[in-house]
Amino acid sequence: MARKPANAARLAELPVHTGPGTPGGDLLRRYWQPVALSSDVLEGGAPLPLKIMSEDLVLFRGGDGRVGLLALRCSHRQADLSYGRVEDGGLRCVYHGWLFDTTGACLQQPGEPEGGAHRDRIRQVSYRCVERGGAVWAYMGPGEAPLFPAYPAINAPEEFRFAHRWHSNCNYLQGNEGNIDPVHTSYLHSFKPEEESRHDALKTGVTQDIFGVDTAPTLSLRDVRWGLRLLTERRIPENGKTLLRVTNFVMPNGCAIGGAETPFGTGGASMFWHVPIDDTSHYRMEFTFHSKAPLPKAVMEARYRDEMDEKGMPKRNPANRYMQDREAMHRSYIGMGRSFPSHDLFITESQGAIIDRSAENLATSDIAIVRSRRLLLQALEDIRAGRDPLGVDRDAARNDYRDLLVLTETIEADADVDAYLKTMEAKDIYRLDLKKPLTPQLSP
Ligand code: FES
Ligand SMILES: [Fe+2]
């Protein structure tokens, strides 16, 4: 039965706004955030102007190959550093030649007496960066950065993973709420099975058969140290067994969901982070991984490029009504092609730049959304109380995420699901296998 949120007042506290000084901004800044793809800043290439959580920044790669993330405006008189010169171990402002290194230290002030005797007093705002999984991750919070979580999907060698970024014109929080809503896949993404191919299965990470099995699955949740584990159980009428999918909410703006494990078997996962640009737009940073075989990245890249314009923006947008083909709706639910990410961008943008949650009527199938909001509110309280929020880890002994299961498995209907999950955790399903060739042959 539909019901209104139990405590509507608390909805207003959700971390929707993420600019500096907002509670939501304070929360997201406590976690490593993927702010760009590594390929956005090539050695010898131009600095990249970037807005993250309403802060204007510039990302550059110095001559030593290391990346730096600085405030966009020069500490001297606020010129735009993205037009600067990458040289002499840093980024040099082209107004008066001040040179900043990746830590924000001012190395030179060539127009000042003695080359800038007081330059030590100048510090450009800078954020610590690491490169993992084909992306640049920044820690924009206070104090010591937490450990970078050892996610198998992110830390694997390059041939096992693929990173991509989408630009989305809506608030990040509703973007990620779409990932922890397993029922929508049976509707928004559905199309007639004969329309499907392995090709599409790889691109989207799921197959239509899976969603068509039972369009009103049973959902349940488990509390885990990274957020929530979602269990989606679908009844398979042919054999009476259960199709179990395991996906995850990863605090506070991420998920680990179905990916290459569907076409290639156990041992794969996709992780997304929805990183705010400002309060009404964000990047969906996608990481696809499989531990048992190198991914056919040329095919994946081509399929993404099909959905992007020459500026890297989604071709489907409100100006062209997301290129909806109503004639095609007899074979696909929404008539917008078969790119699942494009479907997701469309539907979450259609909710409004910032969804009006007070007008929602949450239903049984929204349990993960309800619970994730509680976790976010609790995390805000933890920060206010001076505690690390859920998912921030500083203990190296605990920094092991091999139990962050993403599964699509057929199990007996009467199986003890929790015991089954324990078995799968013990199996170390993400152990890399460099020997097995990729079975499905995919062509562009
Ligand atoms: S404004 Fe950058 S050096 Fe003067
Ligand atoms: Fe989706």
Cα(54)–Cα(25) distance, integer angstroms: 9
Q: Which helix (H) or strand (E) holds 77?
A: none
In the structure encoding, which two tokens stand for residue 166, read together? 């989408």
Q: Within the chain, how many helices (H) and strands (E) appear?
A: 11, 18
Closest protein CA for atom 3 of ligand 1:
96
Q: How confident is the model at residue 199 (pLDDT cuts 50, 70, 90)?
A: very low
Cα–ligand 1 centroid distance for 114 (angstroms): 17
Closest ligand to 286 CA?
Answer: 2
Closest ligand to 91 CA?
Answer: 1
Mean residue pLDDT across the chain: 92
Tell me which of 176-185, 262-271, 375-384 is least confident. Answer: 262-271
Cα–ligand 2 centroid distance for 173 (angstroms): 14
Check: CB of residue 267 under 8 Å from CB of residue 292: yes
Omega before residue 252 within 30° of 0, cis: yes
Cα–ligand 1 centroid distance for 66 (angstroms): 23
Q: What is the pLDDT of residue 17?
A: 98
- Nearest Cα residue to 277 out of 39, 24, 19, 14: 19
Q: What is the pLDDT of residues 119-160, one digit of tens each?
A: 999 999 999 999 999 999 999 999 999 999 999 999 999 989
The answer to whether the 41-128 and 152-426 domains have the same CATH topology is no
Instruction: Give the mutation target among 81, 96, 109, 123 for probing the ligand 1 site: most ligand atoms within 8 A of CB.
Output: 96
Q: What is the pLDDT of residues 2-31, one digit of tens each?
A: 455 556 679 999 999 999 999 999 999 999
Q: What is the pLDDT of residue 9?
A: 73
Q: How confident is the model at residue 194 (pLDDT cuts 50, 70, 90)?
A: low
CB proximity list for 441: less than 8 A, separation 6 or greater: none
Q: Which atom of ligand 1 is nearest to the CA of 98?
A: 3
Cα(89)–Cα(414) distance, integer angstroms: 63
pLDDT over threshold 80, residue 195: no
CB proximity list for 194: less than 8 A, separation 6 or greater: none
Closest ligand to 71 CA?
Answer: 1
Q: Where are the alpha helices (DSSP H) in 275-351?
A: 297-305, 340-349
Between 198 and 169, the more confident residue is: 169
Most confident of 43-47, 262-266, 289-293: 43-47
Q: What is the pLDDT of residue 3?
A: 52
Torsion of CA 403, 404, 407, 413, to 10 degrees: 60
Cα(402)–Cα(425) distance, integer angstroms: 7
Cα–ligand 2 centroid distance for 342 (angstroms): 9
Cα(175)–Cα(282) distance, integer angstroms: 8
Q: Which atom of ligand 1 is nearest to the CA of 93?
A: 2
Check: CB of residue 38 under 8 Å from CB of residue 138: no
* Average pLDDT over every residue of 287-292: 95
Q: What is the pLDDT of residue 306?
A: 96
The domain spans of the chain are 41-128, 152-426
β-strands 268-278, 254-257: how paired?
antiparallel
* Residue whose tokens read 């127009």: 111
Closest protein CA for atom 1 of ligand 1:
77
Amino acid letter at 230? L
Cα–ligand 2 centroid distance for 340 (angstroms): 6
Q: What is the pLDDT of residues 298-328, one digit of tens each?
A: 989 999 999 999 999 999 999 999 999 999 9
Q: What is the pLDDT of residue 440?
A: 47
Looking at 1.10.287.1080, 3.40.50.300, 2.40.10.10, 2.102.10.10, the CATH number of the domain 41-128 comes to: 2.102.10.10
Cα–ligand 1 centroid distance for 61 (angstroms): 20
In the chain, % of residues over pLDDT 90: 82
Q: What is the pLDDT of residues 208-230, one digit of tens each?
A: 566 677 788 999 999 999 999 99
Phi, psi of 264 (to 5 degrees): -110, 0
Which superfamily is assigned to 152-426 in CATH? Naphthalene 1,2-dioxygenase Alpha Subunit; Chain A, domain 1 (3.90.380.10)
Residues with CB under 6 A from ligand 1: 74, 76-77, 79, 93, 95-96, 98
Q: What is the pLDDT of residue 264?
A: 84
Amino acid letter at 390? L
Q: Is-above-0.85 flag for pTM?
A: yes
Cα–ligand 2 centroid distance for 347 (angstroms): 9
Max CA pair span of the chain? 83
In the structure encoding, which two tokens stand for residue 391, read together? 């998912």
CA atoms within 13 A on the CB side of 439: 9
Q: Which atom of ligand 1 is nearest to the CA of 81?
A: 2
Q: What is the pLDDT of residue 295?
A: 87
What are residue 127's DSSP bridge partners? Answer: 69
Q: Which atom of ligand 1 is nearest to the CA of 97?
A: 3
Q: What is the pLDDT of residue 436?
A: 56
Beta strands in 260-325 (DSSP E): 268-278, 281-290
Instruction: Give the mutation target among 70, 95, 108 for probing the ligand 1 site: most ligand atoms within 8 A of CB.
Output: 95
Q: What is the pLDDT of residue 437?
A: 52
Check: CB of residue 393 under 8 Å from CB of residue 149: yes
* Average pLDDT over every residue of 334-361: 96
Instruction: Give the mutation target among 58, 73, 77, 85 for probing the ligand 1 site: most ligand atoms within 8 A of CB.
Output: 77
Check: CB of residue 202 under 8 Å from CB of residue 299: yes
Q: What is the pLDDT of residues 163-172, one digit of tens each?
A: 999 999 999 9
* Residue whose tokens read 């409004």: 352
What are residue 69's DSSP bridge partners? Answer: 59, 127
Q: What is the pLDDT of residue 378?
A: 98
pLDDT over threshold 90, residue 363: yes
Cα–ligand 1 centroid distance for 82 (angstroms): 12
* Average pLDDT over every residue of 169-190: 95
